[in-house]
Structures are given as structure tokens and as C-alpha cells.
Amino acid sequence: MPIFSLPSRYGIGTLGKEAYRFIDFLVEANQSYWQVLPIGHTSYGDSPYQAFSSFAGNPYFIDLDLLVKDGLLKRTELQEIVVSDPVSIDYGYLYQNRYQTLHKAYERGIRKYPEEFQDFLQENKWLNDYSFFMAIKKHFSMRSWLEWPDEEIRLRRSKAMHRYAELLEEDIRFYAFLQFLFYRQYMDLKTYANEHGIRIIGDLPIYVSLDSCEVWAEPKQFQLDKETLIPTEVAGVPPDYFSDDGQLWGNPLYDWNYMKKDGYGWWRRRLEGVGKYFDVIRIDHFRGFQAYWAVPYGSKTAKNGRWVDGPSKDFADILKNDFTNIEFIAEDLGDITEDVVELLDYSAFPGMRVLQFSMNPDGSSFHSPHHHVPNSVCYIGTHDNMPIVGWVRHAKKEELNYARSYYGFNKKEGCNCAFIRAGMNSVAGLFVCQMQDYLGLDEKATINVPGTLGNWRWRLLKGQLNRRLARKIGRLVHGCGRGRK
């Protein structure tokens, strides 16, 4: 369940009281893991897979009530930003109002925590590029760095860097301080989770956004035109289950040959940064390390792309040998070839099995439970799928008949319960279930419909998580032998 889906009076889930309550719920429900979506500072479209930075946390997740407790905000300052609609996130409203409130916390906090903030700056060198980048974006009305009207700062010319550093000093400090607040709150929450036996599974997007501080600050790491810094090709995937046109993500592709020269130092820094936040990391689009789909820049769809070899085992060696303190899950969905299977076997990382992809009436899908293996993670669906109740409503007749026969669900029990039971009884080493499936919600609770806008908005309603549901889940977990150790 995403952090943004937690209940809150202020329009979006945060790292505050409801997050701690959710961990308590997980403990009572006999769970051991909480998987979240990427927690980065999102850009236009609000997708957690399109962030301004690979390191920065989302300022919207900073809990305002905790800032009141810390003396950085006054309770009266929050009364006017209480959101009346708890069902869906209004990102436009947040953008217009949240930063004004956070700036008040900054003005007080910068005086209250001067030494702690300086220590944070020293320990997180990535903040220099990120906070500078965000301050310039604000100065230019949040336009993409490729559209900044001053080419000297767009190309990071020395004189321009000095000039803007002086001009935007206050905003640079503000964006850095927001990360200080985010980090304090997040690490307190993670500590609470770990102390209560809950490990956090994070999601690492394979690509970074074109409009990100990494691409602006280190363009040589990416496949960009040397003169204009515009991408030559961009990321996506070919036509698949979700789209006949494929998915055109638009992210810049890595210059793997350049990265290899210093032993993939950029990736090492990224993994070290993300590794602070998570106990387990799901590597998004793992097959992209074996071969990636490159689409000519400016294409309207992803159909005309081509496969290009990635770093493959070189990169797997880094993950296996240099980051032994982190466990990895390989998102091995999509167009999986024998080469990808070989890379996955070489890495020894568990792959994913998704029950919604198991509906081949001939039983041939490797997502079907009878094909599962212990070194895998079973899901009913991902954030790109409808909750299973919604899938049943929209499924093709032959797939639905197969599902009824295979999973044995009926109206009295509910199809969601049958799929949950099948997942828990799978031989997969770990079973992860979307919160919407435990709640029996339908397609209205879908997190993301690929290729569309207006996603990432679903929220829990206060009271949906209760002790009765927790105990029901806990009994099922125990009965399937997946209880907490």
C-alpha cells in the first residue's frame, strides 16, 4: 500500500500517526512486510516513477501534526488546509497550498535545528544538486530544465552557477531543509516498523525522469545529444498486456558504456542512498538490465523501438556482491526472454508471480500457482492492475470461467478471498497482497492505469482498517503457515 493512500486530514497520506497505526495493524494481522511505492519527490503527472530526484523524499509525505508537536507549526495554521474529501488526492490543491505551510515550518526549524541540519547536509552530498535544481525550477515557474530561458544555467556554466547560487540562496536552503524534515520523520517510522518486526519493501524505478536533477547535473551518464542535451532515444516497453501501442515512458536512457568506466559509480551512489530507506528493494523493470527498449525521441508511441543490450551480469554482480545488506526482488514482468531468465537465475534474486496474469485456460502461464517456485514473490496484482474484484467484473468470459474453476471462488466467500488463499498457499517464499484486495474493493480503487493521467489518487477511508479485519487476516496467515517468525 502506498504511503499516499493512508488516511489524513490534509489531503494525502503522510509519515504521521496513521502510518504508525498501519504498522500496528500489520502486526496484529500477522504480517512481516509493508511494500510501498517509490517515495520520491514527484513531478508533473504525480507518478512516483517520475521524480525530480533519485534521493529526495516527497515533501507531501511530511506530517504536519508532527511538525506541530515539534513546535515548527501552530495548530491554528492547519485549520485552513483541512481537506473535506478524504477519498481522492487532489494534487493540484496540494501544490497550491502545501509549500506555503511547509515554508512556515522551515522558517522556525532552520533556527531550531542549525547543527543537526548542517550535519545532514554534510552526510548527504546529493542535496547540493537537488536543492539547487529545485530552486532554479521555482525561479523559472517550475518549467523543465530543458526549457529554462537562461542557457548558461541550463548548461551549468560556472559564472551562472555562482550567480544563481547567490540569487536563490534562501530557496536552496528551503528545499534542502524539507529533506531534513522528511528524513527525520521517515527514519523514525522505519525504526518503529523494524522494532515491531515489520520490514519495508521499497520500489526502485529503473529510470530517472528527464526533468530531474540527476540528468541536469550529470548529463554524461545518459544518452543525450552533446550539444542540445535532448535525448536521442527514450525508454518504454513494446506492446504488451497493458497496451497495443506499448508504453512510452519517455525517460532518458543510460549511457552504460560511460557508466562502466568508473565501475557504475552513479548507480552505487543511488543504491546507497535508497538503501537507507528500505530493508528490501524491488528493482523495477529488471529485464531492462539485460536488454532495454529504446524508442526514438519524439515518437508518439513505443511501437517503433528496438532492443539494445544492457549491462546484464556486470550490474547483477554489483547488487549481489557490494550490497549484501539489502535484499532485492526482481520485477521480471513483461517481455521475458531466455536471456532475462538466465540473468535472473544468475542473480539469484526472487522474481514475481502475479495471479492476474495466470488466466491462460490451458494452464501454461508461469504465474499460475502450480508453476510457482520458492524463490519468488507472489502477488494477486500490482499497482498497475485493478483489484481482483474489479478484474472479475471486466474479465473475458473464457478467463473468468478458468479462474472460477482454478481458484474455486463463489459469491458467498468472494473472489478476493479465494485469490488471497491461493496466494498464501503458493510455494512462493513471500506473498504480498494489495490492501484493496483484503478490503474487497473494485476497479474504482485501482492505483494506476498505465498510459493515462489522473492516477495515484486512491486513499483508505478512516475506519476501513479495524481489529476484526486484522484478526481475520492473521488467522488466515497462521492457517497457511506464513505466520510471523
Does the annotation mark 384 as catalytic? yes
Distance CA 213, CA 223 (A): 15
Q: How far is CA 304 from CA 35, 242, 454, in A?
A: 34, 17, 26
As a whole number of angstroms, the longest Cα–Cα distance in the chain is 71
Distance CA 215, CA 133 (A): 10
Does the annotation mark 240 as catalytic? no
What is the signed CA dihedral for 275, 277, 282, 287, rounded to 10 degrees?
-50
Beta strands 280-283 and 327-330, pairing class: parallel
SS3 411: coil
Q: From the candidates 63, 331, 332, 437, which is the catalytic residue?
A: 331
Amino acid (1-letter code) at residue 65: D
Does the annotation mark 399 as catalytic? no
**What is the spatial order of strands in the sheet that 327-330 belongs to?**
33-35, 199-204, 280-283, 327-330
What is the signed CA dihedral for 215, 217, 220, 224, rounded to 10 degrees?
40
Q: From the candidates 46, 332, 384, 437, which is the catalytic residue?
A: 384
Contact (CB, 8 A) for 447 and 2: yes
CB atoms closer than 10 angstroms to residue 393: 12
Distance CA 241, CA 238 (A): 10
Q: From the candidates 284, 314, 442, 443, which is the catalytic residue?
A: 284
Backbone angles phi, psi at 116, to 5 degrees: -60, -40
Contact (CB, 8 A) for 286 and 219: no
**What is the spatial order of strands in the sheet that 430-432 belongs to?**
351-354, 376-379, 430-432
Backbone angles phi, psi at 33, to 5 degrees: -135, 150
The residues carrying an active-site annotation are 284, 331, 384
